């Protein structure tokens, strides 16, 4: 029987998830179609309920539904519950299971692609939204020394640090226009951008949250934004002589983990990455 799986979000724009997920299903010659399901908030509940039908494997969830959808699934995975967001639904014979693969999707490229050694490292996380929350739980599971969370809306950074203050030896928070922020940048071994600053399609896609002169040359700068592949922040980091990691490996990795939950098969990650890169370069042309 033909099965369906798809991406629930609104609006969806030019998402590349359908392309690289379909490549994985085709790799195994599975009779499954991955679709884009632009779903406005008012019809979300009925769309999620329809996923209990046995033709559906489940769904990926993206902005703005990741938090609200927690109330619409039957079983929450403990990791997703802790993070407070669901990005993957699995339809297990009519019972909807909610997972979060963003956290592992964030940390696996750091370990496998750039072999970052977390031990004793000072980490600066810019942003305190949903992506930051997934990153914070992943970072708290590593042997880092300190974590500073900096956000435009300072109170959100404060709330996020409260959640992990017992999990990391040193935890602090700042705004993004303070002396403390400049200091946190210059002390960091790993700088992570989890804001949408520099993302294509935003009001000012040429903006970087941090200028070149503040970035330590021996740091790693990780931008979760994947469109464009080299964001303004990554350009500044390269100019500073720092190492860089873009957001595409995270996007593919969280998708690969979702694929494995739907199919119980090992995701063909190299193929998915190659297809994702090609699809992204087409959206740039």
Interacting residues toward ligand NAP by CB under 6 A: 63, 102, 105, 127-132, 151-153, 156, 194-197, 199, 224-226, 247, 250-251, 254
The two structure tokens encoding residue 43: 């019809």
Within 10 angstroms of residue 4's Cβ, the number of other Cβ atoms is: 17
Active-site residue, from 2, 66, 165, 274: 66
Report the alpha-carbon distance of residue 183 to residue 174 in Å, rounded. Answer: 10
For residue 133, give both structure tokens: 């929350």
Cβ at position 126, least distance to ligand NAP in Å: 8
Name the minimum Å distance from CB 249 to ligand NAP.
8
Q: Which residues of 240-272 are buried (b: 16+ CB within 10 A; e: fewer)?
A: bebebbbbbbbbbbbbbbbbbbbbeeebbbeeb
Nearest Cα residue to 223 out of 239, 236, 240:
236
Active site residue 66: yes
Task: Please report how close the Cβ of residue 50 comes to ligand NAP at its closest, in angstroms.
Answer: 25
- CB of 52: closest distance to ligand NAP in angstroms? 26
Residue 3 or 17 having the CB closest to ligand NAP: 17
For residues 173 and 170, give the distance between their C-alpha atoms in angstroms, rounded to a whole number. 10
Q: Which is nearer to ligand NAP, 3 or 199 (CB)?
A: 199
Task: Rank residues 48 and 258 by Cβ distance to ligand NAP and give the closer one.
Answer: 258
CB 27, CB 45: distance < 8 Å: no
**Which CB atom, from 127 or from 228, has the smaller least distance to ligand NAP?**
127
Q: Which residue has the tokens 């009925």?
A: 46
Query: Whole-number minimum distance, CB 23 to ligand NAP, in Å?
Result: 17
Place of tokens 């928070």: 173
Q: Which is nearer to ligand NAP, 191 or 224 (CB)?
A: 224
Task: Return the closest-CA partner of residue 66 out of 98, 105, 18.
Answer: 98
Q: Which residues are catalytic?
A: 66
């Amino acid at each position: 029987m033909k099965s369906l799986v798809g991406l629930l979000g609104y609006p969806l724009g030019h998402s590349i998830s359908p392309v690289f997920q379909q490549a994985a299903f085709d790799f195994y010659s599975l009779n499954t179609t991955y679709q884009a399901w632009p779903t406005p908030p008012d019809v979300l509940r009925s769309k999620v309920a329809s996923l209990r039908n046995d033709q559906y494997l489940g769904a990926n969830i993206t902005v703005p539904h990741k938090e609200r959808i927690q109330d619409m699934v039957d079983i929450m995975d403990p990791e997703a519950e802790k993070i407070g967001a669901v990005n993957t639904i699995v339809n297990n014979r009519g019972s909807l299971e909610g997972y979060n693969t963003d956290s592992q999707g964030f940390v696996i490229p750091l370990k496998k692609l750039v072999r970052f050694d977390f031990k004793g490292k000072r980490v600066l996380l810019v942003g305190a939204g949903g992506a930051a929350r997934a990153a914070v739980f992943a970072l708290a599971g590593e042997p880092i020394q300190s974590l500073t969370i900096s956000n435009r809306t300072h109170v959100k950074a404060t709330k996020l640090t409260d959640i992990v203050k017992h999990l990391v030896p040193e935890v602090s928070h700042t705004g993004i226009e303070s002396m403390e922020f400049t200091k946190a940048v210059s002390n960091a071994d790993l700088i992570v951008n989890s804001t949408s600053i520099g993302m294509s399609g935003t009001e000012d896609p040429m903006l970087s949250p941090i200028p070149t002169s503040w970035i330590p040359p021996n740091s790693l700068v990780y931008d979760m934004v994947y469109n464009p592949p080299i964001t303004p922040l990554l350009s500044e980091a390269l100019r500073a002589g720092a190492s860089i990691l873009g957001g595409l490996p995270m996007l593919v990795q969280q998708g690969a983990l979702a694929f494995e939950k739907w199919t119980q098969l090992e995701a063909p990650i190299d193929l998915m990455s190659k297809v994702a890169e090609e699809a992204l370069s087409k959206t740039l042309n």
